[in-house]
Structure 1
Amino acid sequence: MTSASAPAAAPVGVIVDGYSVGKYLPAAFRRLGADVVHLQSTPEFLDCVPPPDLRPYLANVVQDAADPARTVQELAAYHPCGVLPGQETGVPPADRTAELLGLPGNPSATSALRRDKYRMIEALRAAGIRCADQLKSGDVEEVHAWARTTGYPVVVKPLSSASTDKVSICRGPEEVRAAAAEILGSRDIFGRHNDELLAQSFLDGTEYIVDVVRGPGGARHVCGVWRYDKTLVGTRPVYDRDVLIDPGAPVVEPLVTYLDTVLDALDIRFGAAHAEIMMTAGGPVLVEVGARLDGIMDPGHHDACLDGNQADLLALACVRPEEYRRAHPGDSLYRKHREGMVVHVRTTRGGLVEAVDEDALARIRALDTVHLAVPRLAPGDRMRPTTDLLSSPLRVFLTGDGPERLLADHRRIRLLADDVFRLAPN
């Protein structure tokens, strides 16, 4: 009598630092019948962002900085099919771990080009790609002198942060000094100490975000192109809304053609990326690129207005590479099914959140075009006036059949938003 063979083990993906948008990857892998293991790149979870939810993972492996081979050996026991970053801090360890495991990824030797914004732009300059002028410095007076020579306005920001953390558009020397004083000596949103800052020439134009996935063999699929609409609050460019662009719009082709050169220059050969690109009078110019999922993506929202989302496509590239190749044998472009918009609610209020008013939130969620409304503060959190993405208290995802309906609901959301959070009297 022949014994029945044991069922084949499910494929396993490794998610490095599954904070933030990385939370969507476990479900994407599980939809394909795969399991996930979490790789924690630091001895303790970062205290500057909410910790990852480890419940969907088979295990949490803590990176052994002194003995990377031991970490790789522990992960190899799961026979992983891919290693992906969950947020910015996961990019270099994901590169290194995938390389050591012999899995598709990006070269660890060039990881810094994908994390350090100064080196990122210098790599474009070396490749002859249109880019901003810039200076990296820890000396306020040097930054001031450079800005005077370059010409105002200039942009001042941290080297390796995200979510528009401490980004300022400075129109004179006092604003440069104020921006530099805020950055130097502080920590960015990932806990990294800011010993230097980045100053760049101001890019005048309309900013777009381009989401892509590069699969096995390097075939590139553009998952969506969104226009950023911003408002300048003091020196801070504050996001108001992201608007999904029709793939046939004239601006899409030059943006994508430019991004393809950027991906090659930064050695982004496999995985997800999202690029912020300014369309200037002289053509597209990179603001920055993240070699990970777009942090503002919600998979359900993208599925509602597009032909898929980055998380599912990325999981497919790891778990079923042949199926990915059949679906995307070469470079390809998204299809838009409905209008899409993401509203980043701004506030001028500050104080301790006493309660979230569920009735007020329900009124927003009841609007025809609202797909999802996500409060970003809870009771006990401190609200502060909005100066960046991190201080937006409410994010609302809209989709519908006409742009006018989305714009009308966007106006209603702005009127209703302040009622969502009740602040303590003092």
Structure 2
Amino acid sequence: MTDGGVIGDDRPVAVIVDGYSTGAALAPEFARRGWACIHVSSRPDIDPVYQAVHRPETYRAGITHRGDLAETLTVLASFHPRAVLPGAEIGVELADALAEGLGFAGNGTALSAARRDKFLMARAVARAGLATAPQFRAGDAVAARDWARDQGRWPVVVKPLNSAGTDGVTICQTLDQLDQAFARIHGKRNRLGLINDDVLIQGFLQGRQYFINTISLAGRHLVAEIWVESKRQVAEAAFINDLEMLLPADGPVQALLADYTMAVLDALGISHGPAHTEVMLTDAGPVLIETAARLMGTVEQRAVMAALGETQVTLTVDACADPDGFMARLDRAAADLPYRMQGHLWCVALISGQAGRITSHQGLSRLERLASYVSRINIAPIGSMLAPTVDFFSSPGVVYLLHEDQAVLAADYACIRAWERDGLLFDVVPVPAG
């Protein structure tokens, strides 16, 4: 069960459950503060998408959870840990159970399911008196059609109850489209490795989408970042990521979003650790899309650090390693602003219109000549297959732009999209069918 360790290491210990995606940055940050980390894989069969960013060398030891909570708790107790955190979405529920089993102040397990199952999530938030989209949990296509017909308002959104990264999310304008979307999801395995026994159908929210990253300690919440998001709709899916822009902390919209988000966190029992909340700002006010009780995924730490001087990762570690200092930070944020920007940061999701095997990254050097270019992450490797982007997982990479002048950012963004249209970023060769 244990993959390795270091004898005689007396540093304080944090447990990271599924340290993938942005969660991979937690262990190095803890190490910088003089802590060691134990990694727990929530299951033996972790998706290769997550495994690709796993950094086992940053952990004191690695443990694989095989379904026996008592066994995993016994092994972890031998390391005398002081904190448990989820690193990625798939580890949220196990992190709750481990923290509770070890006797730590955390989010508890009473609302764990509501922090993962989107239907239960919206129901818990609605019960707290907060706005949510109309929704229905369908176990068969007939029930899905009946609910949509009774609603009488199109479009509707169809999605897995428990997945991530726009996996399977489809906007449907007709009953036939609803049937097709339901069939693509129901009974299939989603991106988190779970079988979709039921399918979630929700009313379509019209407005501007935002997401709010937070860190909580003892029921108090710090807003780390507020972003406004732009997406594109594509055929046979819903929306794909396009552009995310970091917003200043101050402003009436930001205040409205922060207040709503904190109420959502309270409704879901998120009192400790990071969270990533997506909200649609409609004409009637903010409405929850979903909340994840973990770090925002796919974030390039250096870019956010350059813009803010801190990141959700560094603040999460602050809350664990120096809770008194973090409480003082919460007090300062209540009297002033939770964060200050040192430049405008844009996050551009690459959108592929090409199909074939990648033979060269030479075209990506164009990005480095942009005036606002900072970095890029998750670039599809040479030799991999490039396909038209239909969701988060099929984007061939992410580019970060930072500049004081938003006109420069807009011009550089336009260059990236033009290079994509002309096929100048990736060299590919067609692969014969079959």
2:389 corresponding residue in structure 1: 386
1:3 corresponding residue in structure 2: none
2:328 corresponding residue in structure 1: 326
Secondary structure of 2:14's counterpart equals strand
Give 1:331 deviation, angstroms.
Answer: 5.6
Secondary structure of 2:331's counterpart equals coil
User: Using the alignment, how far apart are the partners of 1:336 and 1:273 within structure 2?
Assistant: 20
What TM-score comes out, normalization by structure 1 length?
0.94
Write the mapping of 1:328-367 to structure 2, written as runs, cut at 5 A. Answer: 328-329=330-331, 332=334, 333-353=338-358, 355-357=359-361, 359-367=362-370
1:4 corresponding residue in structure 2: none
On the 8 A contact 1:49/1:190 being kept in 2, the answer is: no
Give 1:330 deviation, angstroms.
Answer: 6.7
On the 8 A contact 2:17/2:84 being kept in 1, the answer is: yes
2:402 corresponding residue in structure 1: 399
Structure 2: where are the runs of 5+ without partners? Answer: 1-7
On the 8 A contact 2:300/2:376 being kept in 1, the answer is: no
On the 8 A contact 2:21/2:298 being kept in 1, the answer is: no
User: Using the alignment, how far apart are the partners of 2:225 and 2:47 within structure 1?
Assistant: 30
On the 8 A contact 1:205/1:281 being kept in 2, the answer is: yes
Give 1:245 deviation, angstroms.
Answer: 1.3
Q: Tell me if 1:109 matches 2:110.
A: yes
Q: Please tell me the residue identity of whatever aligns with 1:135.
A: F
Structure 1: where are the runs of 5+ without partners? Answer: 1-6
Q: After superposition, what is the alpha-carbon deviation per residue over 1:198-224, rounded to whole angstroms, capped at 9, x for unaligned?
A: 000111000001000002x22211011
1:211 corresponding residue in structure 2: 213
Secondary structure of 2:252's counterpart equals coil
Instruction: Report which stretch shifted further, 135-144 or 262-271.
Output: 135-144
Q: Please tell me the residue identity of whatever aligns with 1:356.
A: S
2:5 corresponding residue in structure 1: none
2:240 paired residue among 238, 241, 246:
238
Give 1:373 deviation, angstroms.
Answer: 1.6
Give 1:307 deviation, angstroms.
Answer: 3.8
Q: 1:419 to 1:50 in 2, by over 3 A?
A: farther
Aligned residues: 416
2:174 corresponding residue in structure 1: 172
Give 1:8 deviation, angstroms.
Answer: 8.8
User: Using the alignment, how far apart are the partners of 2:290 and 2:185 within structure 1?
Assistant: 18
Q: Please tell me the residue identity of whatever aligns with 2:374.
A: H
Write the mapping of 1:401-416 to structure 2, written as runs, cut at 5 A. Answer: 401-416=404-419
User: Using the alignment, how far apart are the partners of 1:92 and 1:375 within structure 2?
Assistant: 26
Secondary structure of 1:251's counterpart equals helix
1:257 paired residue among 249, 256, 259:
259
User: Using the alignment, how far apart are the partners of 1:364 and 1:104 within structure 2?
Assistant: 45
User: Using the alignment, how far apart are the partners of 1:250 and 1:303 within structure 2?
Assistant: 25
2:3 corresponding residue in structure 1: none
Q: 1:146 to 1:331 in 2, by over 3 A?
A: farther
Cα RMSD (Å): 1.7
Q: Please tell me the residue identity of whatever aligns with 1:159.
A: L
1:194 paired residue among 188, 193, 196:
196
Q: Please tell me the residue identity of whatever aligns with 1:414.
A: R
Instruction: Report which stretch shifted further, 332-341 or 413-422.
Output: 413-422
1:370 corresponding residue in structure 2: 373
Secondary structure of 1:241's counterpart equals strand
On the 8 A contact 1:344/1:396 being kept in 2, the answer is: yes
